Amino acid sequence: MRNEKAARVFLAMCEPARLQILQKLAKSKGCVQEIGKSVGRNQPNVSQHLRVLKDAGLVKTKREGKRVCYSLADERVKMLIGIAEAIG
């Protein structure tokens, strides 16, 4: 169902922690550690949130040696955040 998929996108973005991560990635991509420092959360926590974001198709990954670089999967993610901020 189309509804379900859209809901999953919003579900991924409804958590302040994940929204914070997305906003960080909107500025610059980075690995799990860096993201963790940026948003003030521990590594497993960030990793779990990133998984949710990835499953929802909001971020993509790229291995770089030992690290995994995360970045926004779609420019439209920025649009969603921008509109939500404008409404709220």
Dihedral sign of CA atoms 28, 37, 77, 47 in order: positive
Task: State yes or no: residue 57 binds a second copy (CB under 8 A).
Answer: yes
Taking CB under 8 A as the binding criterion, the range among 29-37, 41-49, 52-60, 61-69 that sits at the site for a second copy is: 52-60
16-27 and 43-55 helices cross at what angle (nearest 10)?
80
**Residue 72, binding choice from DNA, a second copy, none, Cβ under 5 to 8 Å by partner class:** none
Task: State yes or no: residue 27 binds a second copy (CB under 8 A).
Answer: no
Of the two residues 38 and 47, which places its CB atom closer to DNA in the complex?
47
Give the list of residues 6+ apart from residue 4 with CB closer than 8 angstroms, or none. none
Residues that bind DNA (CB under 7 A): 11, 15, 17-18, 31-33, 41-45, 47-52, 61, 63, 65-68
Q: 3-class DSSP state for residue 60?
A: strand
Of the two residues 38 and 61, which places its CB atom closer to DNA in the complex?
61
Which run of H or of E encompasses 19?
helix 16-27
